[in-house]
Structure formats: C-alpha cells, structure tokens
Amino acid sequence: MRVLVVEDDEDLLAAVCAELSSAGFEITRAPDIATADAALREGGYACAVFDRMLPDGDAITYVHGRRLAGDGVPVLFLTARDSVADRIAGFDHGGDDYLVKPFSVAELTARVRTLSRRAGTGRPSVLRYADVVLDCARRETRRGGVLLTLSNKEFAVLEYLLVRREQTVTRTELIEHCWGEDEDPLSNVVDSVVRRLRRKLREPNLIDAVHGAGYRLGARS
C-alpha cells in the first residue's frame, strides 16, 4: 500500500519513512503542501501523513479543502501543538488521526496501518441508511437532518455498522476496525460505546443487539 509522508524536517522524515518502509509500505516523500498536492492528484494512496506546519502553510487548511472537494484519503496529522483545541481543529478539518510530537515511530506505523486498512475497504465518502447520513470526508453525522455530536469511537462504530448494514457485526470485528492495534478494549467498552451511540441517534432505534453475537444496524434478513 502507498503512503504519502509530508514533513519538512529531513531527519524526522527519514526516520518515519524508514519505519514505514520496513513495515511493507510504499512511501512517497513530500517536503511541502505543493509537492503533496501533486502526488495526491495522481491518486492511489491508502493514507497520507501530514506535519501540520509546513513551509507553504498549515496542512489542516489544505486537507479541509480536499475534503470539501470529496477526497477521502485517510489523513494522520503530526504536530507539536497538543492542546485540546488543536486536536479538535485537526479532526474538524478532515483529519482521521492526530499524533503529537515527540512520538514513537512504531506507534505511528500502527496508526497508519489501521487507517490504510480502513481505506482498503473502498467505502464511499457518504453512507446512508433510513434517515441517517454519515459524511466520512466532513466527519459529520445527521439524523433526520439534525447534526449529531459523536466521539471519534462512536463515529467509527457507526461508520462500520453502516458499511455492514443489515448484517451481524461481532464485537471482535468492531474492535479490529474501530480501535487501533495499540488498544485492547474489553467487550464492555464496545457495549458502552454502542449504548452512547444509540442514545445520540435517538428513537426509533436502528441498532439491534444480536444475542451472543454482536450488533446489527437495520432490518433483520
């Protein structure tokens, strides 16, 4: 799988690319937004890793523009800016993950692998079921036209249930697709996320518990 790494610190760029390459990824390097834009226009990337502050601008502004244009390549932001407001801005502008410097390159690789696996499912940028609309690019969820406020995990779980709508999804599958490889949640954590998600989606309930198996969004087959 191809990964784009956009970083102007040459030493950090070399370390990140070496780790990702050893993990089996095909790497394209870019020192700035202009170079990254040319690479992304060629297509074929499973994930893009962007340093936020680059010589030609803040990457979140560029990524936000691509999201508005319908681009769905998963993006992981790297930054030294670690405030809650900065993290929220990263997600609000289309980021899928956010890693604060200094970081472990092994953790970065695990996160890139997770994002790339999601990209490999070929999911459309907008998912719909009944009156629920989930916009993956804008990271927005609406029901009956009303904008909902979901946590990252709630959004990820709903996204996967929408992809697998009307099919039973096990807790193990949800963990594999919605939690990172460095996380090992218990089943009751998954259940807790689903309960919160149901509450935010409001009635009528769309997510059924399948006894001894997991969950299903939508009508039983």
Average pLDDT over residues 15-37: 92
Q: Which domain holds residue 200?
A: 126-217
Higher pLDDT, residue 124 or 64: 64
In the chain, % of residues over pLDDT 70 = 91
Q: Are residue 181 and residue 104 in the same domain, yes or no?
A: no
Task: Report residue 69 as tokens.
Answer: 């244009």
Instruction: Say which CATH number the domain at 50 has.
Output: 3.40.50.2300
- Judgement on whether residues 14 and 58 belong to the same structural domain of the protein: yes
Please tell me whether residues 209 and 109 are part of one structural domain.
no
On whether both 97 and 155 belong to a single domain, the answer is no
Do 106 and 177 lie in a common domain?
Answer: no
Q: Which two tokens stand for residue 144?
A: 């009956």
CATH of the domain at 190: 1.10.10.10
User: Residue 198 — pLDDT band, cuts 50, 70, 90?
Assistant: very high
pLDDT of 7: 95
User: pTM for the whole thing?
Assistant: 0.57
Give the model's pLDDT for residue 164. 84
Give the list of residues 6+ apart from residue 166 with CB closer than 8 angstroms, or none: 216, 217, 218, 219, 220, 221
Choose the final residue of a domain: 86, 119, 152: 119
Burial class of residue 121, CB neighbours in 10 A (0-12, 13-18, 19+): exposed
132 and 208 fall within a common domain? yes
Whether residues 25 and 8 fall in one domain:
yes
Tens-digit pLDDT profile for residues 132-177? 998 876 788 999 999 999 988 898 899 889 888 888 999 888 887 7
